[in-house]
């Protein structure tokens, strides 16, 4: 796991899939992230991805977030 520190308004770029994560708010112990990705890149929150995988019977992958 890569752990990065970012301040409000700063961005993390993931090249190759044209993905950007922007810190849009920090409220107490919660951080709000803005995700910019091309339409063909699906992004899930982990708990929703786990549900999709469980319902489809497919093997889970490491990509999660919507």
pLDDT digits (tens, 9 = 90+) for 28-49: 999 999 999 999 999 999 999 9
- How many CB atoms lie under 10 A from the CB of residue 48? 12
Mean pLDDT of 15-31: 96
Helix, strand, coil percentages (3-state) for the chain, rounded to 5, are 15, 30, 55
pTM tops 0.95: no
* Residue 65 is assigned to a structural domain of this protein: no
pLDDT at 2: 92
The Cα-based distances of 8 to 21, 49, 53 in angstroms read 11, 27, 33
Nearest-10 Cα torsion for 66, 42, 63, 37: -90
| Residue 63: per-residue pLDDT | 54
Residue 23 is part of which domain span? 11-56
Q: Is residue 50 part of a domain?
A: yes
Q: Residue 20 domain-assigned?
A: yes
Q: Please report the pLDDT score of residue 57 as a whole number.
A: 81
The number of distinct structural domains making up the chain is: 1
Nearest to 43 by CA among 20, 16, 24: 20
User: pLDDT exceeding 90 applies to what percent of the chain?
Assistant: 83
């Amino acid at each position: 796991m890569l752990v990065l520190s970012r301040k409000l308004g700063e961005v993390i770029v993931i090249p190759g899939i044209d993905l950007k994560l922007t810190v849009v708010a920090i409220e107490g112990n919660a951080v709000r992230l803005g995700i910019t990705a091309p339409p063909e890149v699906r992004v899930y929150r982990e708990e929703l991805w786990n549900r999709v995988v469980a319902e489809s019977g497919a093997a889970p992958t490491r990509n999660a977030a919507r």
